[in-house]
């Protein structure tokens, strides 16, 4: 089986760009990824696109604009994990020898569709009861407050940490003055106990990556593992809060495939659409026992100069969350960190990195999908 490597990455800026064509966001990201990989477009054997709300045919329009006709191309939709699901398919295709060089693209333009929270699917019970994702995450938070004594200050500390990181990210959507814990708590209530500054913004953007085999290039990153799991049945009788189990299942497989433990990871980019999401994810990844994940940010453990920095990009809370592009933005950040090219955001220890993207929304499931990948330098 071929060793899959990450050759290059690229992204657009993230923000609200309703006047831009969605293809132009994609072209910006792809052009950077191709340059970063040091290849010519004609070397690409296949294109896999992750998108949730992209217009029909968005992948074909992107392909036309890139001038790479006739190569196999398809689109993946897996909620917020669409981009990394496309990446996972590329990794598997290279491992199995189907293709030698695959372009992965994640792209979505949300500003033309939603002014606030994504409207839930009306045929699901959550949609019928007007329970969008902020409400679902709020229920997670309320359970953690009741069961483990998680405090509002602990929840707010995640937002402060990630917004401080995002202030140094020139591509992030939100780069305002870093709020205090009290300012986070005083912001408008969205779904108790989650306030406005604890929720990710609606965003536009694109991210791209070039995945190929081992070509002996010391700048390429080794893909130690890539795991995709789908959600399992879940309801109010489940022992864990919504979303925990899918991340835990993916983490167990990813660490086993890489032959590593969670404590060997130097830097992480995880799905923090809401502050409670980062807390629960870090527990599922094994960075803290159940009920203790809320202590990581306030203690400094996950800050940029902490033991295991989490979301040095600013995460979804600062960078933004253009669904299909989010996982690819996370992958780009980890690539820059591992190569020592993250500028003011650079963390000290950066040999092994992890990306986790969890997509959710379908009723009765503990998430649509979760993708976890572990990468490392060759030094």
Kind of pairing, strands 101-109 and 46-50?
parallel
Closest CA to 162 of 152, 151, 174: 174
Would you say 132 and 120 are in contact if contact means Cβ atoms under 8 Å apart?
A: yes
Assessment of whether the complete model's pTM goes beyond 0.85: yes
Q: DSSP label at 328? A: H
Task: Tell me whether residue 321 is one of the annotated catalytic residues.
Answer: yes
pLDDT at residue number 236? 72
pLDDT at residue number 233? 84
- The pLDDT tens digits for 229-254 are 998 888 777 888 988 999 999 999 99
Task: Tell me whether residue 199 is one of the annotated catalytic residues.
Answer: no
Distance CA 125, CA 85 (A): 26
Question: Mean of the pLDDT values across residues 197-215?
Answer: 96
pLDDT at residue number 237? 79
Kind of pairing, strands 194-195 and 189-191?
antiparallel
Q: Which two tokens stand for residue 353?
A: 């990195």
- DSSP secondary structure of 91-127: HHHHHTTS-SEEEEEEEEE-TTT-SSSPPPPTTSHHH
Would you say 184 and 308 are in contact if contact means Cβ atoms under 8 Å apart?
A: no
270 compared with 61, residue with greater pLDDT: 270
pLDDT at residue number 251? 98
End-to-end CA distance of the chain: 22
Distance CA 229, CA 249 (A): 7
Which residue out of 80, 101, 200, 370 is catalytically annotated?
80
pLDDT at residue number 132? 73
pLDDT band at 217 (very low <50, low <70, confident <90, very high): very high
Question: What sign has the CA pseudo-torsion 36, 351, 326, 175?
Answer: negative
Asked whether the predicted pLDDT for residue 364 surpasses 90, the reply is no
Distance CA 187, CA 210 (A): 40
202 compared with 7, residue with greater pLDDT: 7
Question: Mean of the pLDDT values across residues 65-81?
Answer: 91
The full set of domains in the chain, from first to last, is 5-114+203-212 (3.40.47.10)
Beta-bridge partners for 375 = 223, 353
pLDDT at residue number 231? 84
Q: DSSP label at 196? A: G
Burial class (CB within 10 angstroms; exposed 0-12, middle 13-18, buried 19+) of 259: exposed
Would you say 172 and 318 are in contact if contact means Cβ atoms under 8 Å apart?
A: yes
- The pLDDT tens digits for 2-49 are 999 999 999 999 999 998 888 889 999 999 999 999 999 999 999 999
- Calculate the alpha carbon distances from 146 to 45, 151, 178, 238, 363 in Å: 52, 10, 29, 16, 24
In this prediction, what percent of the chain has a pLDDT beyond 90? 78
16 compared with 136, residue with greater pLDDT: 16
- The pLDDT tens digits for 338-359 are 999 999 999 999 999 999 999 8
- The pLDDT tens digits for 289-342 are 999 999 999 999 999 999 999 999 999 999 999 999 999 999 999 999 999 999
pLDDT band at 64 (very low <50, low <70, confident <90, very high): confident
Radius of gyration of the chain (CA): 19
The average confidence (pLDDT) of the chain is 93
Which residue out of 101, 321, 350, 370 is catalytically annotated?
321
Distance CA 266, CA 257 (A): 17
**Choice among 126-130, 152-156, 266-270, 294-298 with the minimum mean pLDDT:** 126-130
């Amino acid at each position: 089986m071929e060793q899959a490597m990450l050759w290059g990455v690229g992204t657009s800026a993230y923000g609200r760009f309703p006047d831009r064509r969605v293809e132009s966001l994609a072209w910006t990201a792809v052009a950077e990824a191709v340059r970063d990989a040091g290849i010519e477009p004609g070397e690409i054997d296949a294109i896999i696109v992750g998108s949730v709300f992209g217009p029909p045919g968005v992948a074909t329009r992107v392909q036309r604009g890139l001038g790479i006709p006739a190569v196999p191309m398809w689109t993946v939709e897996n909620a917020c994990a669409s981009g990394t699901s496309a990446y996972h398919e590329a990794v598997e295709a290279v491992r199995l020898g189907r293709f030698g060089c695959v372009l992965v693209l994640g792209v979505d333009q949300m500003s033309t569709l939603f002014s606030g929270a994504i409207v839930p699917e009306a045929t699901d019970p959550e949609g019928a009861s007007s329970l969008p994702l902020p409400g679902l995450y709020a229920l997670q938070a309320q359970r953690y407050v009741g069961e483990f004594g998680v405090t509002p200050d602990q929840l707010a500390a995640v937002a402060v940490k990630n917004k401080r990181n995002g202030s140094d990210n020139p591509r992030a959507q939100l780069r305002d003055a870093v709020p205090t814990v009290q300012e986070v708590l005083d912001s408008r209530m969205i779904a108790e106990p989650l306030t406005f500054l604890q929720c990710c913004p609606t965003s536009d953007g694109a991210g791209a990556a070039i995945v190929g085999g081992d070509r002996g290039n010391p700048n390429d990153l080794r893909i130690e593992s890539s795991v995709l799991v789908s959600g399992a049945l879940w309801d109010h009788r489940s022992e864990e809060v919504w979303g925990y189990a899918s991340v835990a299942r993916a983490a167990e497989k990813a660490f086993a495939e890489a032959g590593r433990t969670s404590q060997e990871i130097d830097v992480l980019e995880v799905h923090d659409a809401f502050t409670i999401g980062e807390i629960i994810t870090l527990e599922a990844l094994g960075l803290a026992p159940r009920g203790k994940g809320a202590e990581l940010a306030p203690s400094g453990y996950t800050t940029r100069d902490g033991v295991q920095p989490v979301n040095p990009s600013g995460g979804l809370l600062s960078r933004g969350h253009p669904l299909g592009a989010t996982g690819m933005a996370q992958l780009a950040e980890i690539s820059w960190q591992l190569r020592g090219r993250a500028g003011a955001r650079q963390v000290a220890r950066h040999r092994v990195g992890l990306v986790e993207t969890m997509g959710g929304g379908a009723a009765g499931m503990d998430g649509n999908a979760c993708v976890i990948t572990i990468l490392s330098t060759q030094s």
